[in-house]
Structure formats: C-alpha cells, structure tokens
Amino acid sequence: MERKDEREAREARAKEICAICPVRRPCLDYALAIREPHGIWGGLNELERKQLIARAG
C-alpha cells in the first residue's frame, strides 16, 4: 500500500512530465472519453478528471 506522501510525490513527478508533453490534451481527452479510473492522464489524476467530468456534466 502506498502512503499519502508517496502517492503525492509520484503524482507530482508524473504531472511534471505531462506539463511538457506534446500530446497532453489528446491524452486527457482519451482518458475522459473512456473514464479511465487510474493514474495520471493528460496532467490530471483520477479525482481531478472526475471533477472535470462533473463540471461539464
């Protein structure tokens, strides 16, 4: 099981990569379309994607 601080550090590293990725938007669009339940996609984690979907809803 991953501790909260470990998860936050892992997510921060992934988001740093996403920030400079040329396919960030298509990646996020794909994750939103398939309702991907895990990981960082397009710079957003699971909760952030759920919130985005809910706002668009």
| Confidence category of residue 1, pLDDT binned at 50, 70, 90 | confident
Q: Count structural domains, the chain.
A: 1
Give the pTM. 0.88
The per-residue pLDDT for range 15-40, each reduced to its tens digit, is 999 999 999 999 999 999 999 999 99
- Position 57 scores a pLDDT of 77
Reduced 3-state DSSP string for the chain: CCCHHHHHHHHHHHHHHHHCCCCHHHHHHHHHHHCCCCCCECCECHHHHHHHHHHHC
CA–CA–CA angle 29, 55, 43 (5° rounding) = 40
- Position 44 scores a pLDDT of 98
Residue 35's domain comprises 4-56
**Sign of torsion, CA 7 51 42 20?**
negative
